[in-house]
Amino acid sequence: APTMGLKANWATKKPQIDASFTERVIAATGPNANQRLVQVMPSLVRHLHAFAREVNLTVAEWTAAVEFINECGKMSDDRRNETQLLCDIVGLESLVDGITSKMLATSNSETPSAILGPFYRQDAPLLPNGSSIIRNLSPSVPWHEQAVADSAFLTGRVLSSCGAPIKKAIVDVWHAAPNGLYEQQDESQPDMNFRGRFETDADGRYALYALRPVPYPIPDDGPAGRLLGLLDRHPYRPGHIHFIVSATGFRPLTTQLYDDRDEYIAKDAVFAVKDELVIRFAPREGDPNARWSLEYDFVLGRV
Ligand code: MBD
Ligand code: FE
């Protein structure tokens, strides 16, 4: 006899499009599944299925999406994280950052966090307080004049939420060059250019020389950039300086400061700007190493 129409309890006569199909996928989870996955996967599967139903996703579109994600993965290495960039332009890294701070914050005086971004490097050089993260300012660098005009002294204290200074806190800082490129994106910059770690003194103070940051386009020559183009969006981030501030007994703070001189503050391509993180540099007199200065205190929450 022909075996067509063979019935088994794992199949269904209905086409796989309705909620009962979704629940069947969720119910396939076994008794020894990972706890956190048991918590999150049903929601992920329901939202994914609901999305596909809502937009009538076709096989051709889904195939294109798989290829798109594969392309992001293939492009990603320790110099470039295209998958993270994809998350950034759809606001996911900022959303997750917001959810995490909301869950972990222990006081509302803590400095707001902001996303890490794809260009952090561990093990930036530990530098003496008051020194510079600019590793090459010779007149031969094409953006030398701009670097001089934007030279800046950054200082402030690291504080607990009750205002007590925290000594021996580490301020890990990094920013892009005046040409809009982070050091690992740019062959012409020395290793670890515009990166450094500083330890706060007995008054909880850090001090360093850096540059006023400039607006710059996130890398847009890959799939994430193509998506921006298809969405008729620009790739610019406002000028920003990244920080990770950490100290024993406190929750590490990943954040960014934004220079209020630039127009992209209100239209960050990765949606990371927060009012409390927008700063204004002041002109600095009598310092041959800096035309600008900024004083900013970081407030950490307890673990
Ligand atoms: C960046 O420089 C950045 O800081 C973020 C968050 C995303 C892309 C590029
Ligand atoms: Fe950045």
Length of the chain: 303
**Helix/strand/coil for 210:** strand
CB 174 within 8 A of CB 120: yes
Which residues lie with the beta carbon below 6 Å from any ligand 1 atom? 85, 88, 115, 117-119, 218, 237, 270, 272
**Which pair of tokens denotes residue 34?**
């990972």
Cα distance between residue 13 and residue 239, in whole Å:
57
**How many A from CA of 32 to the centre of ligand 1?**
39
Number of C-beta neighbours around residue 160 at 10 A: 20
**Helix/strand/coil for 204:** coil
CB 110 within 8 A of CB 300: yes
* Complex ipTM over 0.90: yes
Enter the pTM of the model: 0.91
**pLDDT of residue 12 exceeding 90:** no
Nearest CA to ligand 1 atom 1: 117
**How many A from CA of 93 to the centre of ligand 1?**
10
Classify burial at 207, counting beta carbons within 10 Å of its beta carbon; exposed 0-12, middle 13-18, buried 19 or more: middle
Average pLDDT for the chain: 94
pLDDT tens digits along 37-88: 999 999 999 999 999 999 999 999 999 999 999 999 999 987 789 999 999 9
Q: What pLDDT score does 143 carry?
A: 86
